[in-house]
Amino acid sequence: MPQPDPATLPLERKASLLSGGDFWSTQPLDEAGVAAVVLTDGPHGIRRQKAGADHLGFHASEPATCFAPAVAVGSSWDAELAERVGAAVGREARALGVGVVLGPGVNIKRSPLCGRNFEYYSEDPLLSGVLGAAFVRGAQAQGVGATVKHFAVNNQETERMRVSAEVDERTLREIYLAAFERVVTEARPAAVMSAYNKINGVPASENRRLLTDVLRTEWGFEGVVVSDWGAVGDRVAALAAGLDLQMPGPDEAHDAAIVEAVREGRLDQAVVDASVRRVAALARLAVASETGVDAVAADHHALAREVAADCVVLLKNDKYTLPLADGLRLTVVGEFAARPQFQGGGSSLVNATRVDTPLDALRSLGHLVTYVPGFTTDGTGDAETLREEAVRAVCGAEVAVVFVGLRGETEGVDRENLDLPADQVELVRAVAAVAPRTVVVLSTGGVVSLEGWHDSADAIVAGWLLGQAGGSALADVLSGAVNPSGRLAETVPLRLEDTPSFLNFPGEAGQVRHGEGVMVGYRHYESVGRAVRYPFGHGLSYTTFETDALSVDVTGDDTATVRLRVTNTGERTGKHVVQVYVATTAGRVRRPARELRAFTKVELRPGESRIVELLLERRAFAHYDIEADRWHVAPGAYTVQIGESAAEVVAEQTVTLIGDNIAAALSLDSAIGDWLAHPVAGPMLRAALMAEATEQERQQAEANGDMMEMVASIPARQFLHFPGVSVSTDDLTEILEATR
């Protein structure tokens, strides 16, 4: 039986649909056949609270698979992998009665200190957007909705519900909106979550420009805009701006405010109706029955292990320390080996179905392992005693594997520095001084400083937060069962002071100025030539790859096809990430030294070659032109570069693009130089200026051509008032007409 259009219901009923029915679900509207749909976190596993809902984690959630968080998946540079994670999370969502997953998070890692960086993919918008879109495709193919969050410019936790991110339009478009744009336009997520913060003074949840003009009008988004939990201050302003659903709920006061605003004519009824229809449409995702995840738990744990192994980044590997040969005497040191840190805190916390430890996993792979804790992270135990015990234990070993890391990384709190705890640093140095070979394995949700101990370690493995199977995955990589293929999705700087946001993070007096503009992450380091410990895109392998036969063909309307051959020249099967950057100085804006514009991951057997083809769309060459208010490909030369990382180019080719010539629209405020350069206005203005000149004056003006350069920046309006200028406002208006 066809259901009545929910928009025909009484206003009060409609308003009630626009805030949650409880902490995790929407209101049902029985009379219109609209069910309640459950929305829950997300992103790397399902946190389904049934026994009681809270935001503080007092109530445990149902068991679910904890996959590698985004910090790790970002380092995989593997869209297919992200899609498989999305699909598995989607399957578990359904099994747990969840219709809408609150993920992925595609905010940019602006500062390594952001406390939620473990939930985000990268400092680069292309990498974030491609992986986010893949996650959405995977999840939504299971019949659940995905929610891309936190829209937008939510790059810190300090004052996250009040701070205003002050950011210029070009930076907004090129850096902070780009990943959202890709996810929305390519993967069509069911929902977009508005952020807590303000953008240029306007709260994200009341930001009409973002929620309606950009998201719906420009990008064609048709789904639901949901608030971050508790983000809505002014419900009527939020609704008018384009925010459909307020979570959590119910919120009778806000419902009443909507009704009153409509009755008083302050809010258009049509706005309410449009939101009601969208929320009602979302409810088609409601899941009727729940089975729990037991049936898929074993398969998903195996998948979690496979995924995690492909996210590990081998940062350093001197003297062929890794992989660990069979039968070596190993001493494993460090609490993180026995009690792994595999996820961060906050709304994304998953009640894992099981947890693998690196220690057990190394033993089960047949290694002879002695274990000592080396330190504690809860303050119990004397650091010196534990360190001395560790030093004694490694004396008889062939290799020491030291597991260090951070505890307590959580939503809501930014980090204060990049350092590992001092006792862990001292431990690494002490162990490395006596062990024949030392491997350091890091478990961190973001980048940490490697200074002070980097040179004493023979091998360094970035193990991020790898989810519940991370322990086995690390053992797989250390032992060589899996070839490491992760690449840094974030630069490892030498010092916090070198990071581009250093002087403007986390802001002051309620504002955080994004003063570094588009120069975020590697864009900054490469543009200013600043040394880093490890660049964006870096990652070693147990095998070797070679790249050759690069060709770049401009294939149409400023798009290009990039072809190259990749060969596995080593002795192990492994995966290689092809990174395509574009470098240019075209256009009237300062471009970063190079920008990642395409990437793919290929698996090759020893000796195998493959021709890899990647498409560079127009956008790969464009910058956001704030005067024309659109993307613009400036005519000129563009160098397509294949990078081992953002800092190491192994092949390049330059192409020339016709670009789109935006003839600047002139006004009386345009500079006289722009008037003179204009194809129509220029000759007319020149003629007008010379209309009353004598032959001698004409010749003098020709000879003094460079005088025009001196006056080129004067606005036309002011230029008219210079003595000797015989052109009037009317003349200019007439010329303007001719240009239209």
Give the nearest distance from C-beta 50 to ligand BGC in angstroms.
15
Is 206 a binding residue for ligand BGC by CB under 6 A? The answer is: no
Residue 228 or residue 526: which is nearer to ligand BGC going by CB? 228
User: Is the C-alpha dihedral spanning 147, 153, 156, 162 positive or negative?
Assistant: negative
Residue 99 or residue 643: which is nearer to ligand BGC going by CB? 99
Q: Are 339 and 357 in contact (CB under 8 A)?
A: yes
- Residue 620 φ then ψ, to 5°: -65, -20
Give the nearest distance from C-beta 294 to ligand BGC in angstroms.
25
Is 118 a binding residue for ligand BGC by CB under 6 A? The answer is: no
- Smallest Cα–Cα separation from 599: which of 101, 56, 122? 122
Give the nearest distance from C-beta 230 to ligand BGC in angstroms.
7
Is 229 a binding residue for ligand BGC by CB under 6 A? The answer is: yes
Is 110 a binding residue for ligand BGC by CB under 6 A? The answer is: no
DSSP characters over 456-478: G-SEEEE-----TTHHHHHHHHH
Cα–Cα distance between 537 and 645 in angstroms, integer? 4
Q: Are 562 and 613 in contact (CB under 8 A)?
A: yes
Determine the Cα angle at 250 with ends 249 and 255, to 5°: 110
Structure tokens at 91: 């399957």
Give the ranges where 221-378 is alpha helix by DSSP (H): 235-241, 252-263, 269-282, 294-309, 335-338, 358-364
Q: Which of 41, 124, 228, 414 is catalytic?
A: 228
- Smallest Cα–Cα separation from 126: which of 617, 456, 542? 617
Is 228 a binding residue for ligand BGC by CB under 6 A? The answer is: yes
Residue nearest to ligand BGC (CB): 347
Cα–Cα distance between 257 and 236 in angstroms, integer? 7
**Which of positions 343-362 make contact with ligand BGC (CB under 6 A)?**
347
Residue matched to tokens 């660049």: 535
Give the nearest distance from C-beta 490 to ligand BGC in angstroms.
20
Give the nearest distance from C-beta 235 to ligand BGC in angstroms.
18
Active site residue 228: yes
- H or E element that contains 429: helix 422-434
Is 62 a binding residue for ligand BGC by CB under 6 A? The answer is: no
Give the nearest distance from C-beta 600 to ligand BGC in angstroms.
30
Is 41 a binding residue for ligand BGC by CB under 6 A? The answer is: yes
**Which of positions 401-440 make contact with ligand BGC (CB under 6 A)?**
none
Residue 43 or residue 470: which is nearer to ligand BGC going by CB? 43
Is 120 a binding residue for ligand BGC by CB under 6 A? The answer is: no
Cα–Cα distance between 453 and 22 in angstroms, integer? 50
Which residue in 44, 94, 149, 487 binds ligand BGC (CB under 6 A)? 149
Residue 149 or residue 575: which is nearer to ligand BGC going by CB? 149
Residue 4 or residue 412: which is nearer to ligand BGC going by CB? 412
Is 632 a binding residue for ligand BGC by CB under 6 A? The answer is: no
Residue 164 or residue 348: which is nearer to ligand BGC going by CB? 348
Is 102 a binding residue for ligand BGC by CB under 6 A? The answer is: yes
Give the nearest distance from C-beta 226 to ligand BGC in angstroms.
9
Residue 229 or residue 599: which is nearer to ligand BGC going by CB? 229
**Which of positions 486-515 make contact with ligand BGC (CB under 6 A)?**
none
Residue 70 or residue 418: which is nearer to ligand BGC going by CB? 70
Is 215 a binding residue for ligand BGC by CB under 6 A? The answer is: no
Is 157 a binding residue for ligand BGC by CB under 6 A? The answer is: no
Give the nearest distance from C-beta 543 to ligand BGC in angstroms.
39
Cα–Cα distance between 719 and 722 in angstroms, integer? 6
Structure tokens at 638: 């563009």
**Which of positions 681-700 make contact with ligand BGC (CB under 6 A)?**
none
How long, in residues, is the chain? 740
In one letter, which amino acid is 436? Answer: P
Which own/partner pairs from 30-36 qualify as long-range (CB within 8 Å, at least 24 positions apart)? 31/4, 32/3, 32/4, 32/5, 32/6, 32/280, 33/3, 33/4, 34/3, 34/6, 34/279, 34/280, 34/283, 35/283, 35/286, 36/283, 36/286
Residues that bind ligand BGC (CB under 6 A): 41-42, 102, 149, 228-229, 347
Residues catalogued as catalytic: 228
